[in-house]
């Protein structure tokens, strides 16, 4: 059994009330093993990493995921509080990013499995479908000082099954916008006094979702260029006019028409970060309108058109439900959404998302959200190592870098865990030579397995 470094014990002690004492001890071991393990993140792989391959009571670690009573939902709330405390304690307005990802899985016993478009393998001319589980992830977008970048830190991940699955379960189907509305109201309950912005792609440009937004929450999403936009309804009703009051005014030109209209007023703005580019100059135009379709609510919004002066990038349109927010600030918030893709790639490359093999319903519901949350826990731990001057940037002769990435982060955390085991055992055990030999044997075993 591995000994937890003091800072890790202090970090996960926040989650202690969710578990019984024996289960919490097993949780700590599984988290350490999840960080150290290379390759598949199965419970058995974690136990081998921890040197517990001969443990007779190995099933108790499986039961943490498939039987033990604890709430991942409450854990998400505690994790969000930790992230705000460490990275956004002084922020007056918090920015969240919502997006979905596909966990590719096969197997008839996985009940929630569906067939979805694989956005990673698909392109404009090529459509790829894939079997798997669809997850909606809510992340906190914060600037990490030592990385000098915006990072998207996951704290709440929910399974969004297909309509076919809900029909088999005799349940009402929940669309992506239904899930998003529920998550937005959850944020309101957890952070009632904070101003919040949620950034999403075009999947969340849904009138019903935007119209039902909670208080203190605004949305920034991508908008179709042919959206039906109108002037606000007249404030005064014409004398003698009968019937219900108008909900919209005169129709405005389509955004795609404004792109080629010589009367459109464009403003040049230089963005320090633009999808991997630095100091990218773009042109933006903005205005206010109401978005309305027959039979649906009216959504007041600020629209923003973005085009590339060099003509290399296709123009896009955004909407924001905060009419007072500056157009350039809206674009800066939307560009942060790119970090979600980075996070999804990192959890696959370094935390083994998509390699887990649980079939039990409860294990499936818990494992992926825990691995996503582990990304955020490692980031908090890395922040501590940076403060202690123990965060190492690993460079090579062909790739020189000055700022740490998540690969450097997890490598530094792993080094800290392994070094602590050696220090702890040599300091506490009288038979130093025996312990040192056993520990080095296990390190050699792990190095051979990784290779």
For the four alpha carbons of 224, 225, 226 and 232, in that order, the dihedral sign comes to positive
CA distances 76 to 42, 43, 82, 278, Å, are: 22, 22, 10, 34
Least confident of 27-36, 123-132, 164-173, 221-230: 123-132
Q: Which two tokens stand for residue 146?
A: 């030592």
- Stronger pLDDT, 425 or 31, i.e. the higher one: 31
Tell me the C-alpha distance between 351 and 14, whole Å: 22
Give me the pLDDT at residue 422, please.
67
pLDDT at 72 over 90: yes
Do 137 and 157 contact (CB within 8 A), yes or no? yes
- Stronger pLDDT, 451 or 167, i.e. the higher one: 167
Q: Which two tokens stand for residue 311?
A: 């003509």
pLDDT at 430 over 90: no
Give me the pLDDT at residue 81, please.
97
pLDDT at 82 over 80: yes
Query: What residue has token string 């439900």?
Result: 321
Distance of CA 7 to the CA centre of its chain: 24
What beta strand segments (E) does 308-387 contain? 316-320
- 310-345 pLDDT, tens per residue? 989 999 999 999 999 999 999 999 999 999 999 999
Do 340 and 97 contact (CB within 8 A), yes or no? yes
The pairing of beta strand 299-307 with beta strand 267-274: unpaired
pLDDT at 451 over 50: no
Tell me the C-alpha distance between 19 and 246, whole Å: 56
pLDDT (mean) for 245-252: 87
Query: What residue has token string 């929630």?
Result: 112
Give me the pLDDT at residue 177, please.
95
- 353-387 pLDDT, tens per residue? 999 988 899 999 999 999 999 999 999 999 999 99
pLDDT at 145 over 80: yes
CA distances 384 to 9, 74, 161, 203, Å, are: 13, 24, 37, 37
Buried b (16+ CB within 10 A) or exposed e, 237-246: eeeeeeeeee
pTM for this prediction? 0.92
Residue 97, beta-bridge partner list: 139, 199
For the four alpha carbons of 230, 97, 182 and 104, in that order, the dihedral sign comes to positive
pLDDT (mean) for 280-301: 94
| Mean pLDDT, the chain, integer | 90
- The percentage of residues in the chain with a pLDDT greater than 90, rounded to a whole number, is 70
Q: Name the strand (E) or helix (H) holding 248.
A: none
Give me the pLDDT at residue 445, please.
67
- Stronger pLDDT, 336 or 121, i.e. the higher one: 336
Looking at beta carbons, which pairs linking 70-73 to residues 24 or more positions away fall under 8 Å? Answer: 70/18, 70/19, 70/23, 71/18, 72/365, 72/366, 72/369, 72/370
Give me the pLDDT at residue 222, please.
97
Tell me the C-alpha distance between 304 and 324, whole Å: 13
pLDDT at 245 over 60: yes
pLDDT (mean) for 103-115: 89
Buried b (16+ CB within 10 A) or exposed e, 255-291: beebeeeeebebeebebebbeeeeebebebbbbebbb
pLDDT (mean) for 146-154: 95
Least confident of 189-203, 258-272, 409-423: 409-423
The pairing of beta strand 195-200 with beta strand 217-223: parallel
């Amino acid at each position: 059994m591995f000994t937890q470094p003091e800072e890790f014990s202090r970090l996960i002690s926040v989650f202690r009330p969710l578990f019984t004492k024996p289960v919490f001890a097993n949780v700590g071991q599984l988290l350490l093993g999840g960080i150290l393990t290379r390759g598949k993140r199965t419970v058995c792989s974690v136990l081998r990493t921890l040197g517990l391959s001969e443990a007779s009571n190995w099933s108790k670690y499986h039961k943490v995921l498939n039987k033990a009573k604890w709430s991942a939902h409450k854990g998400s709330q505690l994790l969000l509080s930790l992230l705000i405390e460490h990275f956004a304690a002084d922020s007056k307005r918090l920015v969240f990013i919502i997006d979905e990802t596909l966990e590719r899985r096969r197997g008839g016993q996985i009940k929630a499995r569906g067939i979805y478009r694989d956005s990673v393998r698909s392109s404009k001319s090529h459509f790829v479908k894939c079997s798997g589980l669809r997850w909606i992830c809510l992340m906190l977008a914060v600037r990490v000082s030592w990385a000098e970048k915006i990072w998207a830190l996951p704290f709440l991940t929910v399974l969004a099954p297909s309509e076919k699955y809900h029909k088999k379960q005799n349940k009402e189907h929940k669309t992506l916008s239904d899930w998003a509305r529920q998550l937005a109201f959850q944020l309101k309950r957890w952070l009632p006094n904070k101003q919040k912005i949620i950034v999403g792609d075009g999947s969340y440009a849904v009138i019903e979702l935007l119209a039902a937004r909670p208080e203190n929450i605004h949305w920034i999403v991508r908008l179709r260029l042919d959206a039906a936009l109108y002037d606000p309804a007249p404030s005064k009703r014409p004398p003698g006019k009968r019937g219900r009051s108008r909900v919209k005014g005169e129709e405005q030109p389509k955004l795609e028409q404004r792109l080629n209209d010589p009367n459109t007023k464009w403003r040049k703005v230089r963005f320090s970060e633009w999808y991997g580019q630095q100091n990218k100059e773009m042109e933006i135009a903005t205005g206010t309108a109401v978005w309305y379709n027959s039979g649906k609510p009216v959504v007041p919004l600020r629209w923003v058109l973005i085009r590339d002066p060099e003509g290399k990038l296709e123009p896009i349109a955004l909407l924001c439900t905060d009419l007072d927010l500056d157009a350039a600030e809206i674009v800066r918030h939307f560009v942060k959404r790119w970090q979600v893709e980075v996070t999804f790639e990192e959890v696959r490359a370094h935390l083994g998302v998509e390699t887990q093999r649980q079939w039990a319903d409860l294990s499936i519901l818990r494992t992926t959200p825990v691995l996503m949350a582990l990304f955020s826990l490692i980031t908090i731990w890395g922040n501590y190592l940076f403060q202690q001057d123990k965060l190492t940037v690993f460079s090579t002769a062909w790739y020189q870098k000055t700022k740490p990435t998540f690969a450097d982060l997890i490598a530094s955390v792993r080094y800290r865990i392994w070094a602590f085991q050696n220090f702890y055992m040599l300091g506490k055990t009288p038979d130093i030579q025996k312990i040192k030999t056993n520990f080095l044997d296990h390190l050699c075993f792990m190095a051979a397995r990784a290779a």
